[in-house]
Structure 1
Amino acid sequence: MYTFKLVIQTIYGTLAIWQALIQGKPKAYNVLTKETDAFIETIISDWNTPGGVAVAVVKKNSQGIWDIETRGYGRANLGGAKVTENTRFAIGSNSKLFTTLAVGLLIHNETLSPRLSWESTVASVIPSWELMDPVATKQTTILDIMSHRTGLPRHDFSPKASDDVLDVIKKLKFHKPSAKFREVWQYNNNMYTVLSHLPPLLLKSRISFAQYVKENILDPLGMNSTTYSFDVSNATGQLAEGMIRQGVDTSKNPFGDGIIRSVPFTWLDAGGEDGDYSGNGGVISTVKDMATWLQTLLLGGTKPGTNVSVIPVEAVEKVSTGFTVKTGQAPFPERSPSVYGGGQARGTYRGHEIIEHGGSVLGQKFICFTQSRKFIPVKGFNTQITCLPSDNLGIAVLSNDHTYGSSIMEIIKYRLLDESLGLTGIDWNSRYKAMIAPPQDLVKKPVDPSPPFVDFTILAGTYNNPGYGKVELCLVSNNTSLSKSCQTLISKSSRILPGGVESGVPTFLGEFNALGMTYIRISHYDGNTFNITGLNSFATGDPAKPYWVFSYPSPSDGNIFAEFAVDGNEIGFGLTGIWGAGKDILGPKGNTMRERAEAWFTKL
């Protein structure tokens, strides 16, 4: 009898185990139904995207089991490979959350002496820390850095490909602030580079930042497809390519075909595993791993399927708490104003609390509305990671559409939110299409522009700004008195920068090697004022047309100027329209160009 009872108990125990396993198995169809699949495919078609998207939806059901769905749509690369749940995308500024949580781990490290806290001043931790504002230098805390309230605008073009993290930190004291300390939210990638310096600085092992995140976050969570290494991702054969449509006349058709190009990972030299880009945007991942990440965040740092705490819940809560007002006005009636913590923004959507962040490779993804509520898309691999803590719901959308990926992923995100929450759907596709900003009316050049205060040949030469570095301006039309380096650049410019110089316009070219631009073009506008354009030269693989050029900013992105002037006994030029200040913040004021410049370059 005892043996029979033991057998019965064993059978029931085995059945119970199998039942639990079956219940815990991710459902194949929940939110990502055939109708949702068709909707996403329609969006890809409507926006004529050359790329694709990958999505993840996680939600804890009424039995306490996670429903997990991951799927890919569209093209991963020029070769036509399909996007899958294992396709790897650069997630851009969604990397910032890994950085702040890594800092949270350091704060909870009891072996550190002295201990670190969110209120620790940066000056007390990093010896080389200094800002132009002495008050900010002394009082800036880790919390100030992560919540973007130091007073500094973006200054994204300051870091060079050759810079390391310490180089970036040392340049900060030369960056003009655009607001008072703790006055307003202003996004700043460089501050997250500062945070990435903390693990190798504070730990006796001098472990690198990327390795610290890998050993303490990624590996414990089993996020084996997530890395800071391009080489590791590329070796899998599953790395997506950023896709762009070149040569589209957006004034006639913003969704024109153009020439489909693949945008290389231009930030690699500045990122790698531990370059200056790692802390603010260096992560490469998949939606399969993002599903794990979403669950971890919703579980307060606990590894899904276990009771093992990988990240202290206090750290998860801290970085998702709002400390700075990000947007004081709601972008849509269904949204609220939002506040910013550390790599996380918090607000509501249709009455549901929402914590999220966006990211892209060639510039932080953000929703930019003009006064007429037009949407200006930004560039790069676009990603959106969204959590609804009260609803136990998480959504990730990754796109490799360089031009409209930011719009596409928002449309898909909102559709998935409405489906998951059981809300009546909103036509987000029509909304975002209506908000596409037409090319801005640039200030037209005078028919007969006046010359600058000195001859163009005198303006040629090497200039320096200690925060942005040196640049040698080579006058394209001058065939005499060129330096050897200028002779080399001008001689190859027609081949490597096709269409990069407008005929008949006095133009300077220079190697710049900043994030997002390899070359800088300064073309005469009128008097002492010149237009500024950043240029990237990419190989095509076609011997007949070996290179194509990506311009930043594009003609539709606005007016960026350089104005030459004499300051004392020195010739220099000041840049305006380039520092990336916060909303409604005006440029510097002053009586001289040097005072009015966002960055001033002095001729050497």
Structure 2
Amino acid sequence: MIMAKVFGLVLGFLSQTFTYPSQIRLSPVGVNNGQVITPELSNSIQETLDVWNITGLSVAIIPKSGEPEYHSWGDRTEDGESVTQDTLFHMASVSKAFCVSALGILMDDFEHGRNVTPLPPALTEFNWHTSIQDLLPGEWQLMDEWASRKANVKDILSHVSGLPSHHFAFGPYESPKEVVSRLRYLRPAFELREQWSYNNQMFTVAGHIVETYSGKTYTSFVEDRIFTPLGMFSSTFSPAKAVKTGKFTQGWTSSGRLLPEFFQEDMIMPMAGPGGVISSAVDMSKWVALWLNKGVHDNVTIIPSSVYGNASQSYAVSISTPVDSEHSILGYGLGWFRNSYLGHDVVYHSGSIPGLSTLVSFLPDDDVGFVVFANGDNKAAPVMNISNRIIDAALHLRSGPAPPIMPEKKAVTSPSEDIVNLELPLEEFSGTYTDPGYGTFTFCSPSSSSPYCQQVIANFTTVDSVRPSAPSSLQLLAAWPRVGSSHIRTVHQSGNKFMLLPTALFPEGYGRDSTPFETAEIGTRGAPVEFVVEDGRVVGFGLFGLVGQVTERERTQTTVKDRAGVWFDKV
């Protein structure tokens, strides 16, 4: 996944019935004249797209040797242009394996004397166990001093740095160097190597290391050392270049509203490592085949054996208990998850950014891989379900297609209207708040009168005017351009507690539909915040919920300021 969605990571493991002995290895040959996807399975996939409101889908089945099988459904544009095997999608967090590979290629360059930039004098080797502090002296620093000294390359790429998903600490136009410099202000959720905790910024760090020691930008390095030798000529990091091809898909919200391009050109560099690759089913088939062949393409080693071994083998445990009888526990290597599905070893990574959901996997013991790309937002569950049903067909695990899963109705909580519970009038909670890791923004209450607040309120009012029911009047609103959001809607819950929803507003709609809308859904789970009042005035608020459990900080500390995952001072 690039990305974890708002303060969380959707993994989407689906339950299906096992009807064939898992220990028997089968050739990935279908039953329809050599095709894995039969008309029956194709119709079942179309049914899934219909019930989940997915506009378009692109799929590839990739054997270790031989020609891939491609299938497409639906549209890639609002004008009804069809998705094809050449349609370009953002890979989102599927890009992480490219970042790991680039770093491994650079290590191999140093090992064989092909480097163009020397290491710092204190370093004699550059490998997966090299400390980040030694690679980026004067730049790298974490809030936890021991973790700052000891964290190595393998730690940051396997999500055991201790930092939670500080996704909204990303500014939209920051350089990788700026992202690295602000890590020192982000609170950890765990100690180094204590527990797996997804964090995108660490892949920005990795990309920055590649830039620092390759003499090239990170994107140029990946293009020169991976895209070009593999013949991935349609792949790029540039949305502008993708648009010029006429093959770039548009994206839609989970409810079916067309979205503009998620990345801007100025956002490429900080997001390239965590989730910036743009590619197609055809190009990604070459990437998957490379992993099935352990880094070798046309008898040429593209990624060194150390990359394959370290990246695809689990280093940390992501899910320690199987979610059902068909899946094992879930491990994470470097840019790849690894688990067992119905007794078959699966290496995979999912990806999600606004408007798009992706999944790439390969089964090393079965000599086959799969890509499933959807141009719909928050579709990890149906994408995983479709991928599993294609695996079933490829390995003959079932006598017929399993039924598609159905969307679950989201639980929506009613916002509180009890203003008496607030310790102070709502307008006292408005104002400017800041955190050195997250930046500064200004909350507006309905009575705020500054030109900035009037514009913010007008945008929210326009969006709210088309809702079937009026939202709570107890809200604090802000413009806060982040990666993936433009505003914050903070809805009162009880006492001095609110629920924060990062959202993107479209007061004039988008595309042919000019009806206003926003991407966040009021009442669904956001990030809890709690304001603190001292001596009759608001002094700040704490942000919680960055990991899906109570952290040691929350268990052991007593004040809101000390327990919070992020603390914003009121200025």
TM-score w.r.t. the length of structure 2 is: 0.85
Call closer, same or farther: CA 1:556–1:67 in 2, change over 3 Å: farther
Matched residue of 1:360: which SS? strand
Aligned to 2:238: 229
Measured against aligned partners, the alpha-carbon deviations of 1:387-443 in whole angstroms (never above 9, x if no partner) come to 11121111111111224x32222222112211221222576545x33xx4432353x
Q: How does 1:132-211 map to 2 (within 5 A)?
A: 132-203=143-214, 205=215, 207-211=216-220
Question: Which amino acid in the other structure matches residue 468 of structure 1?
Answer: Y
Find the aligned partners of 1:329 and 1:48 in 2 and give their Cα distance. 28
Query: For structure 1, which segment, 559-568 or 68-77, has the greater mean C-alpha deviation from structure 2 after superposition?
Result: 559-568
Question: Which amino acid in the other structure matches residue 179 of structure 1?
Answer: F
Measured against aligned partners, the alpha-carbon deviations of 1:94-147 in whole angstroms (never above 9, x if no partner) come to 000000000001110133443411001001111311111111101000000011
Find the aligned partners of 1:167 and 1:147 in 2 and give their Cα distance. 22
- Please state how far the C-alpha of 1:308 moved relative to its aligned partner: 1.4
Residue 268 of structure 1 is aligned with which of 264, 271, 278?
264
Aligned to 1:254: none
Matched residue of 2:424: which SS? coil
Residue 540 of structure 1 is aligned with which of 503, 509, 519?
509
Question: Which amino acid in the other structure matches residue 432 of structure 2?
Answer: T
Residue 380 of structure 2 is aligned with which of 373, 395, 406?
406
- Please state how far the C-alpha of 1:32 moved relative to its aligned partner: 2.8
Mapped pair 1:418 → 2:385: no
Call closer, same or farther: CA 1:525–1:33 in 2, change over 3 Å: closer
Query: Greater relative contact order (Cα 8 A, min sep 6): structure 1 or 2?
Result: 2
Call closer, same or farther: CA 1:523–1:414 in 2, change over 3 Å: closer
Check conservation: 1:576, 1:587, Cα contact below 8 A: no
Find the aligned partners of 2:33 and 2:70 in 1 and give their Cα distance. 9
Query: For structure 1, which segment, 80-89 or 68-77, has the greater mean C-alpha deviation from structure 2 after superposition?
Result: 68-77
Check conservation: 2:393, 2:401, Cα contact below 8 A: no
Check conservation: 1:55, 1:71, Cα contact below 8 A: yes
Call closer, same or farther: CA 1:387–1:316 in 2, change over 3 Å: same
Identity of aligned residues (%): 26
Matched residue of 2:505: which SS? strand
The root-mean-square deviation of aligned C-alpha atoms, in Å, is 2.6
Measured against aligned partners, the alpha-carbon deviations of 1:336-391 in whole angstroms (never above 9, x if no partner) come to 112111111122222222111111114xxxxxxxxxxxxxxxxx411111111121
Question: Which amino acid in the other structure matches residue 522 of structure 1?
Answer: T
- Please state how far the C-alpha of 1:564 moved relative to its aligned partner: 1.7
Q: Provide structure 1 residue ranges, at least 5 long, that are not aligned to the other structure.
A: 1-26, 247-259, 363-379
Call closer, same or farther: CA 1:184–1:429 in 2, change over 3 Å: farther
TM-score w.r.t. the length of structure 1 is: 0.81
Query: For structure 1, which segment, 316-325 or 162-171, has the greater mean C-alpha deviation from structure 2 after superposition?
Result: 162-171
Q: How does 1:78-97 map to 2 (within 5 A)?
A: 78-97=78-97
Find the aligned partners of 1:446 and 1:284 in 2 and give their Cα distance. 43
Residue 559 of structure 2 is aligned with which of 582, 586, 592?
592
Check conservation: 1:559, 1:577, Cα contact below 8 A: no
**Number of equivalenced pairs:** 526
Check conservation: 1:571, 1:602, Cα contact below 8 A: no
Call closer, same or farther: CA 1:39–1:330 in 2, change over 3 Å: same
Question: Which amino acid in the other structure matches residue 562 of structure 2?
Answer: E
Check conservation: 1:270, 1:277, Cα contact below 8 A: no
Check conservation: 1:178, 1:588, Cα contact below 8 A: no
Measured against aligned partners, the alpha-carbon deviations of 1:441-463 in whole angstroms (never above 9, x if no partner) come to 53x55553325333333332211
Matched residue of 1:397: which SS? strand
Question: Which amino acid in the other structure matches residue 475 of structure 1?
Answer: S
Matched residue of 1:475: which SS? coil
Q: Provide structure 2 residue ranges, at least 5 long, that are not aligned to the other structure.
A: 1-31, 120-124
Aligned to 1:252: none
- Please state how far the C-alpha of 1:568 moved relative to its aligned partner: 8.7
Residue 121 of structure 1 is aligned with which of 106, 127, 131?
131
Mapped pair 1:440 → 2:411: yes
Residue 283 of structure 1 is aligned with which of 277, 281, 298?
277
- Please state how far the C-alpha of 1:173 moved relative to its aligned partner: 1.4
- Please state how far the C-alpha of 1:556 moved relative to its aligned partner: 5.6
Mapped pair 1:328 → 2:337: no
Matched residue of 2:481: which SS? strand
- Please state how far the C-alpha of 1:576 moved relative to its aligned partner: 3.6
Find the aligned partners of 2:165 and 2:535 in 1 and give their Cα distance. 29
Q: Which has the larger radius of gyration?
A: 1
Matched residue of 1:408: which SS? helix
- Please state how far the C-alpha of 1:155 moved relative to its aligned partner: 0.9
Question: Which amino acid in the other structure matches residue 216 of structure 1?
Answer: R
Matched residue of 2:169: which SS? coil
Mapped pair 1:397 → 2:375: no
